[in-house]
Every structure is written in structure tokens, then in C-alpha cells.
Amino acid sequence: MTVYAFSSFSFGYLNRARVLAKTLKALHPDWAFWAVIVDTPPEGLDFDPESEGFSGVLTAADLFGGQTDAVLFGHDIVEACTAAKGIAATHLLEKTDCEKLFFFDPDIALFNSMDEVVVLLDRFSIVLTPHQTDPEPRENKQAILDNEIASLSYGVFNLGFVALANDAEGRRFAAWWAERLADWCWDRLDIGIFVDQKWCNLVPCFFDGVKILRDPGYNVASWNLSQRKMHFDAAGQAQINGRPLRFYHFTKLGPLGDQMTQRYAGENIEIFELWRWYREQVAAGTDTAIPKGWWAYGQFDTGQPVPKSVRELYRNRVDLRTAFKSPFATGDGSLLQWLEANTNLLDKEEKRGFLPV
């Protein structure tokens, strides 16, 4: 029996996924690590999954079949890569040798063995990590706003990581996860949804065998740095609050990530050293054949970007989904032609908040 792991991403995030693959395979060379790629490669990219460290690939077409264009047109890139997670989990749990299944966001890097969680899955069906495991001091209102209130808005658990046993309850969770993400994987805080994370607030209510892993060495990121301090021990191993750093979630690589790290890492210089290492790794894994911000499903076939408001309109209108089953296509009788004639959603300044009818 084998431990499986997977990540879901576009080719624009391949540089990050390469870092994840490298660090995971260094610690767990016997795991089967799958890439779920919600994209098609840009012209000129020579992509060989085996040389990348992937045991296999699931594409959007593998997961959604003939509905691929219609499904992905109704999502932005974050929603789309998230929507693939549940159905991909159900596919991988069907593998006859898959005993346990891990999901990692592509912007994660592993630093110590995950065997502790492998053992936990002998007793539990589902392992989740909360964004925070310690409350903020009452007087630190900014941290309460950034961390605790943000968790109330975006989800208690960070679904950049989840681990499942291939048992009845693990499979039941995966099937439910896939169903909810098929219908409701939206960034819609106004109705209480943020892709898959808000749904998973319900997991301890709906499922048995749930382990909420509160070890500070897991899923370390800007949202919990205020309560977690890093240092290197005598052997050079990264430690968080005296526990091994299992994996760090390098979310929001760029100015926003820098801002939040500076706000909460403070004088913890080791965190900044870790970020410097990660930037170097991502840069080394960046392929010039992939245009910056590439996502094949980000534009009509003419190259014109698809605004988020258009995606929301399409997914909320049964008549449009029925009439335009190839929504990325252009020309006579296309969705693009209909949009130009009947809406102002293609204007330079997007009109948000279009209500479904």
C-alpha cells in the first residue's frame, strides 16, 4: 500500500509546485505525488511529469470531461484550482494501492517528515489544521482582525492541507467535498462562501474520525506567525515553538506576503531567511516558456481576458450555459458576441454584483 499526495495548480504556479515536489520527494521518496493541472500548457513548454517528480497527472479534462470549458469558464483561477481538489481526491482514493491521501497547496514546502500524520491516519479518517491554534491577546486588535476575524470570514481550517485515510469515512468526506465544490466553489464572502474553506468548517459536525492537528509546526504562515517563533537547532533543523517545522505555507509571494510577514515575524530573522530561500527556489524553478500569469482558461480564444463578472453571470444563468456550451469560443453565435450585444460587462471598468436570474 502507498501514501498518495497531490497538489492542484495552473502552469503559472508550476515554479511553486516544483519546490513542493522537490521538498516532498526528498523526505518521502516512496510516496506517489500527483499533479492536478487545471490548465493547458503554453506553446513551447516542454513538460515531462516524471522529470518534474510527479508520479502522475490529472488534467481538468480528466476530471470534468466534456464539461471542462463550461465548468472552468464559471470560475476564476483560484476557484477553478480549488474546485478540482474534491473530485481529484475521489479519483485518487479509487487507486487500489492508495492507503492514505495528502493534499498540499503548491505554495507549500516541506522541511520535516510527515510520518506523524501518516500514523495519525491509522486512527483518524480526516486530519485538518486550523489557521490559528492560540488566541491573540485582547490588546492586539490588529492581530485579532488579521487573524481571528479573518478566520471567521475565510474559514477556520486552512485547506492548503488536508490528509485522508482511504476508509469509509475518508471516502465519504471526499465525495461530499467533491459535490460542494462542483456546485459552490466560489469566492463569495457576501453569501458566506470562500471556495472550499468555509464548507470545511462543517467537517467536525458532519464526519467522525476528525483530527484537528494543533501542532505549531504544521501550516505555518502569516496568519499564525504572531504566535509562532522559529529557530534552528544545533543540528540545523527548523523548529517552531520547540516543535519541528513540518511545512511552511508561503502564501502571497510578493508585496502582500512581505507586508504580513514583516508585521508578524518582527525580529524573528529566521522567518525572513526562510522566505529568502523560498524566493530563490521559486526563481530557479521558473520556466521562461511560461508567460507571467499564464492560465489558458483566463481568456477567450482571441486572447481577450474573461472578466470575473462575466464568469459570475455565466455560472448563474442556466440559459447561457445551455446556449453556449463552448463559452471560450468567439465569432458568430458565440457567448462573446452575445455579451457585446446585451451587456456592458466587457467594458474596461468591470461592473460587479450582477444578480443571477
Contact assessment for residue 12 and residue 285, using Cβ atoms and an 8 Å cutoff: no
pLDDT higher than threshold 80 for residue 88: yes
Q: Which domains does the chain have, with CATH numbers?
A: 2-284 (3.90.550.10), 299-342 (no CATH)
Q: Is the pLDDT of residue 144 over 60?
A: yes
Average pLDDT, integer, range 134-144:
94
Q: What share of the chain is helix, strand, coil (3-state, %, to 5)?
A: 45, 15, 40
CA atoms 59, 65, 66, 67: torsion sign: negative
- pLDDT-based confidence at 217, cuts 50/70/90? very high
pLDDT at 197: 97
pLDDT (tens digit per residue) in 332-350: 999 999 999 999 999 754 4
Task: Work out the average pLDDT over 264-282.
Answer: 94
Average pLDDT, the chain: 94
Looking at the chain, the whole-number percentage of residues with pLDDT higher than 70 is 97
Q: What is the pLDDT of residue 44?
A: 92
pLDDT over threshold 60, residue 357: no
Q: Which helix (H) or strand (E) holds 321?
A: helix 318-323
Rounded Cα–Cα distance for residues 108 and 194 (Å): 20
